[in-house]
């Protein structure tokens, strides 16, 4: 299946690298399109319509506000439409591309290294197009593909799409704390990142059992127990609850 990317921003780049195959790319910034196409062994199209002509399925990676304008340019040339547009339900994409099979996915940055989660919600005409092939393409590119009703997308996005930024902040805070107690900044940062990566790998291997991992690491009354107690007193759980609520409720930053 030949994929066409309309838009070559950060998420398009992560997706393209995760899919691991050449694609035809267009973007209002041609240089950005050229850089992405070169990175994945793809080609640059002169227009969005040309992407649709060359691709078996187009992937909408542009800004959500551009949905109607891009659809007007592409017209009926799209054979199948894959959307990764944030906050844009399947129905809105189907209205812009009537009589076309539409597939909504929500990827995250870890996709560029073959990890992370991709959410999936099919459109009404999904079965009329290459649904199985499209789903398997995304499933192979990610750590996990989760099919959810769109009503749960906001909560899921807070966990799996915003999560990398949340985890990066945790790693940064942990490293900064190490620096405050005498570690060199580069050493502390490397320790925090490698420890986070290793912890994720262990959890993945052992079935995502976070409580069991904490039990294994924590001796009664020991160093880890003291540190965990300090985190609980500091409100780490409440902070994450507030972060997810802010995403779901659309609260201003």
β-strand partners of 81: 58, 102
What are 184-217's pLDDT values in tens digits? 999 999 999 999 999 999 998 888 799 999 999 9
CA atoms of 85 and 114, how far apart (whole Å): 20
Q: What is the domain partition of the chain in residue ranges?
A: 3-150, 163-249
Buried b (16+ CB within 10 A) or exposed e, 180-199: eeebeeeebbeebbeeeeee
Helix H or strand E segment including 4 = strand 3-6
Contacts of 128 (CB under 8 A, 6+ apart): 101
CA atoms of 125 and 113, how far apart (whole Å): 31
CA atoms of 193 and 18, how far apart (whole Å): 21
- In order, the DSSP letters of 79-136 are SSEEE--TT--HHHHHHHSTTS-EEEEE--GGGGGT-SEEEEEE-TTGGGTTHHHHHH
What are 50-75's pLDDT values in tens digits? 999 999 999 999 999 999 999 999 98
Q: Which of 59-63, 235-239, 247-251 is the least confident region? A: 247-251
**pTM of the shown model:** 0.87
Task: Calculate the dihedral angle through the C-alpha atoms of 90, 65, 115, 54, rounding to the nearest 10 degrees.
Answer: 80
More confident: 25 or 108:
25
Q: Does domain 163-249 have CATH number 1.10.3730.10?
A: yes
Burial class of residue 107 (count of CB atoms within 10 Å of its CB; 0-12, 13-18, 19+):
buried
3-state secondary structure 182-194: CCCHHHHHHHHHH
Angle between helices 236-249 and 153-160 (to 10 degrees): 130
pLDDT at 253: 67
CATH number of 3-150: 3.40.50.720
């Amino acid at each position: 299946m030949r994929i066409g990317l309309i838009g070559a921003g950060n998420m398009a780049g992560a997706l393209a690298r995760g899919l691991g195959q050449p694609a035809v790319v267009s973007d209002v910034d041609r240089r950005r399109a050229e850089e992405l196409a070169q990175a994945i062994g793809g080609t640059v199209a002169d227009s969005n319509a040309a992407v649709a002509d060359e691709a078996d399925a187009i992937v909408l990676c542009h800004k959500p506000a551009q949905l109607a304008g891009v659809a007007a340019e592409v017209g009926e040339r799209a054979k199948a439409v894959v959307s990764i547009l944030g906050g844009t339900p399947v129905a809105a994409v189907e209205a812009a591309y009537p009589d076309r099979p539409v597939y909504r996915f929500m990827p995250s940055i870890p996709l560029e290294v073959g990890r992370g989660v991709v959410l999936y919600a099919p459109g009404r005409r999904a079965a009329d197009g290459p649904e199985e092939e499209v789903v398997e393409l995304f499933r192979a590119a990610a750590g996990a593909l989760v099919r959810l009703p769109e009503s749960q997308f906001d909560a899921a996005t807070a966990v799996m799409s915003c999560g990398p930024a949340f985890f990066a902040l945790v790693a940064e805070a942990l490293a900064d704390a190490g620096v405050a107690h005498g570690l060199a900044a580069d050493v502390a940062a490397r320790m925090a990142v490698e420890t986070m990566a290793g912890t994720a790998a262990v959890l993945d291997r052992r079935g995502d059992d976070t409580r069991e991992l904490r039990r294994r690491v924590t001796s009664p009354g020991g160093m880890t127990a003291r540190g965990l107690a300090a985190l609980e007193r500091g409100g780490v759980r409440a902070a994450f609850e507030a972060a997810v609520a802010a995403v779901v409720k659309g609260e201003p930053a």
